Each structure stands twice: as C-alpha cells, then as structure tokens.
Chain A
Amino acid sequence: MKEVRLHGRGGQGGVTSAELVATAAIAEGKYAQAFPSFGPERRGAPVAAFIRVSDQPIRTREKVYHPDIVVVLDPSLPALVNVADGLKEDGIVILNTDLSESEIREKFGIKSKLAMVDATKIALEVLGLPITNTTMLGALLKATGIVGKDALEEAMDKRFGRIAEKNKAALARAFDETVITG
C-alpha cells in the first residue's frame, strides 16, 4: 500500500487531485481511498488531503501518519509547514518550486529524496491560472507511477469535461520538466 499526503492551500484543488488519483486507481481495478483533512477548510489557509492506493482491500480508517509520498502544491508552504513530517525513510517529497535542490535542502532541511518542478510557471503559461493541482499530478506520475497516465487522463476527462485538455497539457509538461534527485 502507498500512502500520499498532499499539502496545498484552501482553494488550490488539493482535494480534487486526491480524488483524481483515487478514482483513476479504482478504475484500474485497484483499491484506493481519498479524503480531505476533515474540518472547516478556509480558502488560502494551509490544508492537506490524503490518498491510499493498494492492490488489496484497504482496511484502515486511520489518518495518514507515515506517508510514502508527499506532494506540495504551493511553493510557500515548506517554509510554514513541516511537509516531510512522518515521511517514511525511503519516501519522496514532490515540490512545486523554482529553487535548486541545494537551496531546498538548506532552506527547509528536507533530507529525503526530492522531485521538483516549477508548477506555478507551467500552470500560468498553460492554464493561465496559478492553480497547480493537475500540473503537480504530472510530477507525481513521473516520480512514483502510483497510477497509470491513461487512467488519470480518463479521470480528468470525466471530472473536467471541456477544460480537461488544458489540464492534461499542463500535466504532460510537468511530467517532462520534473527533476528527481538520486
């Protein structure tokens, strides 16, 4: 079982990202859960969402305490929130950032494996909005392969209808531009 924690700000679509990954995994015949950090979420405030994906039925309703994968949608969050909190030893943090690996390690003290992409820039150029939830799914796909690209695109078609194409384009560009550390 793989466990994912997404960090975003209220309104950035972190819950939607979690939903897309889970529905795609379920469409592939796997078992999955997606859920928000339950509470009165506010637009702009730091929020989290969670995903579990497994080949076996998932028999837990615990929160995710030790994620395998952390995805950070907003570049300002690692300075405010310990995004690597509870991360498994071989876990990975996937960041929306325009910083270099050494800058990230120095500024935020993240020691784990990293995947990095300037998702805000891509989202602004492709979608015309600084909403990075679908863009960051490109980085998640490249860094982890937690779900297949076809299934994810199908989930996006269903969820977004006419605007799915643009989101798929942003996802594809992020997939190409994501850099993964050793």
Chain B
Amino acid sequence: MSKRVGVEVSIAISEAVGLARAEIIPAYPITPQTHIVEHLSEMVANGQLDAEFVPVESEHAAMSCCCGAAAAGARVFTSSSSQGLSLMSEILYIPSTMRLPMVMVVANRALSAPISIWNDHQDIMVQRDIGWIQTFAENGQEAVDLTIHAFKVAENRNVSLPMIVNIDGFTLSHVIEPIELPDQEDVDAYLPPFKPRYKLDPRKPITMGPVGIPEVYTEAKVAHDKAIKNSKRYILKAWEEFEEVFGRKYEPVETYRTEDAEVLLVGMGSICETAMTAVDKMRDQGQKVGLLKIRLWRPFPAQEFRKAVGKTKILAVIDRCLPPGAVCGPVGAELRSMFYKIPGSPKIFSFVAGLGGRDVTVSRFEEIVDKARAFAKKRPRELYEVIGVREK
C-alpha cells in the first residue's frame, strides 16, 4: 500500500528518485532546489539509496557528469534552478541530440538581474529549445508522479531522450502538503532496470558524440526532432500504465470546467491550482470561464491542445516569463503560431504574470479574464500585457 504523508515537496521528490532507484546523482545545490539534493545526499550517505552521489564543483560539471554516467548506462538524476541551470546551458543540448536518457527536476526560479531567488519560468524558457522532453507539475503529488514517469519515458528505447520535470520553486518546493508516496514494489513493477541500447563499455568499444561535419549535422538534428515528436505516444502510454499501477490519471493538456466556456485561461505549473479556484468563483457568478493546463510542454501536444480548446473563442494565455523585445511570452507565441490561419481558431491574448515571486492571486485571474473579454471586443494596442505592474 502506498502511504499518504505530510511532507515537504522537495523531500517527496527525493524519495521518488529513491523509489526509482537512481544510480548516479551528480548535483550542485542552488536555491530553491537545495532540499532535493540535500535529502538525496543523505539518502545515499545513510544507505537508504544504493547510488553514487557526486558532489561536483558546478552545474556545468554536474551536467557533464550526467552525460558520462548516462553514456555508461546508469540511471541518472540531477536537479537545478535558475542561474545554475543557465550555467549548465552549454551542456544541456548535448545529451538530447546524443539521445542519453536522464531525469532532471528544475525548481523554477527567476533569472538575475535584479537578483531574485523567487519563482517564475524564466530559467526554463531560456532552455526551451534544448531538445529535452519537458513536463510541468501543478502540485506535490504531480511532482512525485511525473518524476517517476520521467524515468519510464526517458529510458524507453523508442524515446531515449533526457527529460525535465518543472516544479515551481518555493511555491511547490518548500510547501508541506499531503502526498501519496508509492510503494517500492509498484515502482519496481512500473519501472524496470535501465537497459540502454548502446553504452560505453571497454569490452565493446563504440564512439559517442563525434564531430558533426556539414554532411551529417542537419541529419543528426532532424533525427533528434523526429525522436522528440515521436516520443509523445510513449509519454502518453507511460501515463496510461501509470494510471493502471498507481490509479492517478495524467494527460498532456488537462481541462477544468471547459464545457461551454467563452473564455479559457491557459497556464502551466502551480498557478493552475489558484486558477481553478478563480474559475469556480467566476462560474458561481454565471461567467462561462474554464481553464486549460499545459502539462506536457515539449514535445508540444498541439493536437490535444486544439481538441481541448474546442469551440471556445477566447484564450487568455499566462506566461511566467517576459522575453524583452519579443512579440509576447513563449507560451503565447507558441499558441499563436500553432493556430495561425487555422479556420475558426480562437482569439489569443497574451499575459505575463507572476515574475520573480509576485503572487498570482484569484483576483488577478479575474482581471485577466475581464481584460481578455474586453480585448476580444476592441483589439489591444500591444501584443501582450504584463499584469499587476505597480505604477508608483
């Protein structure tokens, strides 16, 4: 039997990594990811987890070490945030095109300047195109479940890609809440030992990561693109199997009260919980409002997203990232591009909220819905709006 416990989400994630029997954990601590790697190092030190914890000298080294360990055929986990994730950037593109499976939890945090340790999605949006599979967790339970799911997907021989589970820093990482921690037996049944198709082995030498001369580089990149697009079916299959074993259902795009909706909020991560409360409040007032939660960000589940939108004519998309000088936030841009020139597609309004730990409250969601309705009647001057900017 799984057990329901009150536990900090970071600790629960570490326990999930333990249940998944990770073998090599190269990691460097950074707020707000610290508790995850601290607890993992304790689990290794006290014998609870039979793994090698590699206390590297930087995130650049952490990701380099992850690549080596995955190439040698180990089950690999690491975790990072913000500036640390940026320091990894040079290496992040390597395991994905090299098709090295590994799992990283990113405790999402703002980027400097000004210095901020608080939550938004700027750190991960910088890494949007690294070619890793990426999911976003809404609460602690999802953080645990998606971590276990990530190993299953990444290591599938038909996928063989690294995978990131995004969790909101502090807003999730530092909260104590009820979580069902699965049984070891069930996790073992769900997640068999990692058997890579190829690995570095002195008895059977192979070359990994050679130079990509102009004659092969394009083909290598196209192969990677095909691989991540093709991974969707295995991501979905791994969620179906997850439901069979653990009883909790996951979908790439989740709908909340979308029936007959005139306006749909679109969000990713923990703001979706507050957004549900906002939707309930607006529905009680007779407003036809619903919510779409994007759980799978890469590969982008375009087909599922379009289906989830249905006949709704107004989308209010919330980005937790402000790319200066861009047309709008990355999620807004993705959706506008996806719907471009599709007959009957909805009007898409882009909002930026919750930067650097700014709270996104129920009343902010109400404000966003009001604005989206107004914009649908009278086209706004700007292509996006930042919510809750103090004027003085």
Contacts and interface: CB of A to CB of B under 8 A. Distances in A.
B174 A25 contact: no
A25 B6 contact: yes
A76 B168 CA distance: 34
A61 B274 contact: yes
A102 interface: no
Interface string A51-62: 000000011111
A32 B6 contact: yes
A contact residues, range: 20 to 34
B385 interface: no
Contacts of B271: 61
A40 B117 contact: yes
A23 interface: yes
Contacts of A58: 177
Contacts of A32: 6, 176-178
Contacts of B357: 38
Given A38-B357, A59-B273, A62-B274, A31 B171 contact: no
Given A22-B6, A25-B6, A26-B6, A60 B274 contact: yes
A10 to B, nearest CB: 15
A33 interface: yes
A32 B177 CA distance: 6
A41 to B, nearest CB: 11
B291 to A, nearest CB: 11
Nearest to B7: A23
Contact of A34 (B118, B176, B362): B176
A36 interface: yes
Contacts of A63: 359
Contacts of B361: 62, 65
A104 interface: no
B277 A60 contact: yes
Contacts of A33: 175-177
B300 interface: no
Contacts of B384: none
Interface in B108-143: 117-119
B345 interface: no
B14 to A, nearest CB: 16
Interface in A59-81: 59-63, 65
B64 interface: no
A88 B211 CA distance: 65
A19 interface: yes
Interface string B272-295: 011011000000000000000000
Contacts of A62: 274, 359-362
A39 interface: yes
B176 A19 contact: yes
Interface in B160-207: 168, 170-172, 174-178
Contacts of B4: 26
Nearest to B117: A40
A27 B271 CA distance: 26
Interface of A: 18-19, 22-27, 31-36, 38-40, 58-63, 65
10 contacts: A24-B6, A26-B4, A33-B176, A34-B176, A36-B174, A39-B118, A60-B274, A60-B277, A61-B171, A62-B359
Interface of B: 4-8, 31-32, 117-119, 168, 170-172, 174-178, 270-271, 273-274, 276-277, 357, 359-362
